[in-house]
A and B are shown apart, each in its own frame.
Chain A
């Protein structure tokens, strides 16, 4: 089945130690998103890629970076995780016809990040 895959499902890192979360998709969607979801809160968009174009949200800290080496993969890099960065990180994809609003977003299972 086509899907959005996130690895690892659980990640533990130390305060200040860089960490990379991975997302891959078999849907061949051209848009990929990274959301942060803290406990009992709504998902909050960090940034997204429209094809190769990176779109950062205005309030996303510089500590968060992303890479998309090809259509299928997208990475979230947290350069110096703080305790406040502990959260569930969700990857989502959608298909965006040129010049139109995007279609439905499909979410991966998420990676739960713990910062010690």
Chain B
């Protein structure tokens, strides 16, 4: 079955540190990929998405992600995190199986210390 994996469950960084959160999926076909962020007490917000084209995708708030098909990965990056980036980050995928639903990873809790 198709799945999405996030191996970092809890990440603690200091402000200005660089961030990379891992996301891998298991599926051999076409996939649409998303990163969502959930700030404390708030709803899921879309950070960025990849459908096709340039595998390096830029999103809001300085985030970017790179789709590497050979590695089945879609890692999220930010060169310099801020305290306000403290949140839960979810990677999600939609596989071209005809199913419309998103498959979410288990999430990564990012804690940025001032």
Chain A contact residues, CB within 8 Å of chain B: 31, 33, 40-45, 48, 50, 55, 57, 90, 92, 94, 96, 101-102, 104-110
Which of B14-22, B69-77, B78-86, B98-106 participates in binding chain A? Answer: B98-106
| Inter-subunit contact A108/B43 (CB<8 Å) | yes
Using A48-B101, A57-B101, A101-B96 as known contacts, say yes or no to A41 and B46 having CB atoms under 8 A apart.
no
Question: Which of A41, A50, A107 touches B100 (beta carbons < 8 Å)?
Answer: A50
Using A43-B44, A109-B42 as known contacts, say yes or no to A101 and B107 having CB atoms under 8 A apart.
no
* Extra 12 A-B pairs, beta carbons < 8 Å, given A33-B101, A96-B100, A102-B94: A42-B90, A43-B44, A43-B104, A48-B100, A48-B101, A50-B100, A92-B44, A94-B100, A101-B32, A101-B94, A107-B43, A107-B44
User: How long is the Cα–Cα vector from A90 to B44 in the complex, in angstroms?
Assistant: 9
| Inter-subunit contact B104/A104 (CB<8 Å) | no
Question: Which of B34, B96, B105, B106 touches A104 (beta carbons < 8 Å)?
Answer: B34
